[in-house]
């Protein structure tokens, strides 16, 4: 058993899930994202007071994690376009390039994903989750492999989420990431 008696109602704002390595933060994020099902209990989502069905969730949710794989033989732009198409959101290449530029990857938009550094790959994963402009955003260890400039981007993401009334959940054991959160759920 990984979790027992977790009960939380999470609304708009920036929320954290904190705990040491192996405590189940990533497993909880996968459950929240609908990628795995809990053995017991339930997770429900609402948009403007209306419950979401599981098959609707992927269109309403952006999810980024270091373990999410992208295609090494596709460019940054192609990878992000594919993620958007799979979630039913058409995004033009100009918008993709603009978002990559915000992260400092303006010169890498057509570079194969597999040729990027680990920090650059993390920025592409973040853009792929954020560009969908969903009401819910899950970021599992978003600062992984990011330098100071890359982490500043995470700070701007959290500020924008607050401003726009988005529900953002960050899972981490890093204080610099958790310091961005308004409320924190601690897992032991």
pLDDT the model gives residue 48: 84
Asked whether residue 1 carries a pLDDT value surpassing 60, the answer given is: no
pLDDT the model gives residue 183: 95
75 phi, psi to nearest 5 deg: -75, 170
Contact (CB, 8 A) for 187 and 173: no
The DSSP symbol for 51 reads E
% residues pLDDT > 70 (the chain):
97
Asked whether residue 5 carries a pLDDT value surpassing 90, the answer given is: no
Given its phi and psi angles, is residue 24 left (phi above 0), alpha (psi -120 to 50 degrees) or beta?
Answer: left
Asked whether residue 2 carries a pLDDT value surpassing 70, the answer given is: no
pLDDT the model gives residue 78: 97
Pairing of strands 61-64, 183-186: unpaired
Contact (CB, 8 A) for 84 and 90: yes
pLDDT the model gives residue 173: 95
Token match 């429900």: residue? 44
pLDDT digits (tens, 9 = 90+) for 74-108: 999 999 999 999 888 889 999 999 999 999 999 99
pLDDT digits (tens, 9 = 90+) for 13-68: 999 999 999 999 999 999 999 899 888 888 888 888 888 887 888 889 999 999 99
| Higher per-residue confidence, 55 vs 165 | 165
Pairing of strands 136-140, 46-47: unpaired
Mean pLDDT of the chain: 92
pLDDT the model gives residue 55: 81
Asked whether residue 4 carries a pLDDT value surpassing 80, the answer given is: no
pLDDT digits (tens, 9 = 90+) for 134-150: 999 999 999 999 999 99
70 phi, psi to nearest 5 deg: -120, 175
Domains of the chain: 13-37+50-186 (3.40.50.300)
Closest by CA to 43, choosing from 87, 8, 1, is 8
């Amino acid at each position: 058993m990984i979790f027992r008696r977790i009960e939380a109602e999470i609304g708009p704002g920036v929320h954290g899930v904190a705990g040491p390595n192996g405590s189940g933060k990533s497993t909880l994020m996968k459950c929240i994202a609908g990628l795995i099902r809990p053995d017991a209990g339930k997770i429900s989502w609402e948009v403007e007071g209306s419950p979401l069905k599981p098959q609707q969730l992927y269109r309403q949710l952006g999810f980024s994690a270091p373990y999410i794989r992208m295609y090494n033989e596709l460019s940054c732009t192609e990878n992000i376009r594919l993620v958007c198409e799979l979630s039913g959101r058409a995004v033009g290449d100009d918008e993709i390039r603009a978002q990559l530029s915000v992260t400092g990857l303006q010169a890498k938009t057509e570079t194969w994903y597999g040729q990027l550094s680990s920090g650059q790959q993390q920025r592409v994963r973040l853009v792929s989750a954020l560009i969908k402009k969903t009401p819910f955003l899950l970021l599992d260890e978003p600062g992984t492999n990011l330098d100071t400039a890359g982490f500043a981007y995470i700070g701007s993401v959290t500020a924008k989420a607050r401003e726009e009334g988005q529900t953002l959940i960050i899972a981490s054991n890093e204080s610099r990431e958790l310091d961005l959160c308004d409320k924190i759920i601690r897992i032991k």
